[in-house]
Each structure stands twice: as structure tokens, then as C-alpha cells.
Amino acid sequence: MIDFKNDIKNYNFKQLNDSIKSMDLIKISSDELVILLETLKNDKRKNVNKLGEHIEKERNKYFNEVKRVNSLYAFDRIFSKNTILAGVDEVGRGPLAGPIVAAAVVLNLEDLKDIIMYINDSKSLSSSMREKLAEEIKNRAVSYAIASCSNEEIDEFGISYCNNKIFLDSISNLAVTPNIVLSDGYKVKDYNGNNEAVIKGDTKSASIACASIIAKVYRDNLMIKYHEAFPDYDFKSNVGYGSKTHIEAIKRIGICKIHRKTFVKNFI
């Protein structure tokens, strides 16, 4: 480890960069950071100067993210007030194939040190980040539950009915009974408990954001498995949505057993 309090001119860029990579730049104290940045910025080498600028930028980016995620938890605490809160969200209203899936999540909202970093609207995250976060959410949540309705149920009862049903099912399958449920977009019909609808809730509420992530990961992985059985429709890429490849396959070979007949009637 290079001591940045001393002269660094005898170290090349790779040595400096490798030493910095071995540090935990998030946990480094403000005083130590000032010394590190000043040393790098005052060096005569431009690539070393840029290394300092990069460190400062990344550290600021991280703490802005901490602030954003804390605001999601703070939003939920407005409603929870030392009671049990669940967030619920769905994925898969619009696809031509596959189920609609919902998740309900109860987080520990009181421990400020227990926040799950980088949670957000699932659609704004990369697939690899969603996968990583889904596991972390499931491991750290007080409780979570996933519910779904098949394409057959969607055809028989309609998408709105199924959407509401999986909201109810995911909430009722939680290991704890929430005192309040925050739902994304609109209230849950026929729910007897306290329920608040939050417009664009997956960008405002930590619990709803977590629900959106595990619901999407669950459904996406299910559609990837369906791709193995029905590769012509490219489900691994479109996860059942009406992509050009998907629609062309429907027109060419017809539908398979997981298609929503009421959704694809204009293509067959």
C-alpha cells in the first residue's frame, strides 16, 4: 500500500492505480480523502491528475446514491410509523405471452444502517444488477411473497382482474401481516386493510421498488425457461412482449401454449 502522505513521484501510474483500487474509498475518512486528492491533483502527470478527478467523481456519485435511496426509505417511514408496511408491484401486464407476476415486500425501515443500496424502478436497472439486488432483497427483507396468474387465467378473467388477484395473493402470502400496504399506481380492490396507492411508486418507495425488482427477475427468468421450450418466439430477449421477431413468429407458425389468446388475436 502506497503512503499518499509521502512523495509519490517514484511510483508509476499503474502502481498508484492498483494501490487506490485496494482501498475502500467509501469508508476512507474526509481528512484522508483530502490528502489523497490533493496529492494526485498536484502531481505533474496528467493521468495521475485524472485519477484524482475520477475518485472524487465516483465518491460523490456514491453519496448521491445513498441520499436517493435514503429518500425512498424516508418515504415509506412517513406511512409506517413503527408499524409493518408492505410494498406491492406487478410486472407483465402488456406482454403477448406468459404470466403476470406480482411481489409484496416488507423491509426493515427502522434500522438506518440496513438500507439496500441501488434499489430503483426495475426497468431502469441492468439485468445483472436486478439479479444481484433480487437476491439481496430476498435475503434481507423481513418477508416477501410472489404471486402470478397464467396466460389461461388472463384469457378467462381479464388482465385487470388477474392484476388485482396477484396483488391480493402476494400480500396474503407474506409471513407477517402488514398494517399498511403501498401499491404502485392504484389501490388494491377488495383489500380489507389499510392501502395507499402511490403513482410511480417504484421510484418513490423503497418497498415498492424492491417488489418491482423481485417480480421482474422472477418473471424474466421464467420466460427464459420458456424460451428453451419455444425458441422460435425469442422469449429470452423479449420476455413475451410484442417484439418484431416475436410477432413475425406468431404470423409464421402460430401461437404456443403460453400465449395470451386475447392479446394476440390481431396477429393470427
Please write the tens of the pLDDT for every residue from 54-103.
888 888 888 899 999 999 999 999 998 879 999 999 999 999 999 999 99
For CA atoms 161, 162, 168, 172, the dihedral sign is positive
Please write the tens of the pLDDT for every residue from 41-60: 888 888 888 888 888 888 88
Numbered residues of the known binding site for a divalent metal cation: 89-90, 184
Give the architecture-level CATH label for domain 82-216.
2-Layer Sandwich (3.30)
Residue ranges of the annotated binding site are 89-90, 184
Residue 1 predicted with pLDDT over 70: no
Task: Show Cβ contacts of residue 118 under 8 Å, excluding neighbours closer than 6 positions.
Answer: 65, 69, 125, 129, 133
CATH 3.30.420.10 intervals, the chain: 82-216
pLDDT band of 36, cuts 50, 70, 90 = confident
Q: Can you read off the three cell numbers belonging to residue 83?
A: 408499524
The strand pair at 180-184 and 143-149 is best described as: unpaired
Q: What per-residue confidence (pLDDT) applies to 146?
A: 98
Q: Give the pTM.
A: 0.85
Query: Is residue 25 scored above 70 in pLDDT?
Result: no
194-198: strand order across its sheet: 143-149, 100-106, 85-91, 180-184, 194-198
Closest CA to 210 of 108, 97, 94, 122: 122
- Per residue in 195-231, pLDDT (tens digit) is 999 999 999 999 999 999 999 999 999 999 999 999 9
Average pLDDT, the chain: 91
The answer for residues whose C-beta is within 8 angstroms of residue 157's C-beta and 6 or more apart is 149, 165
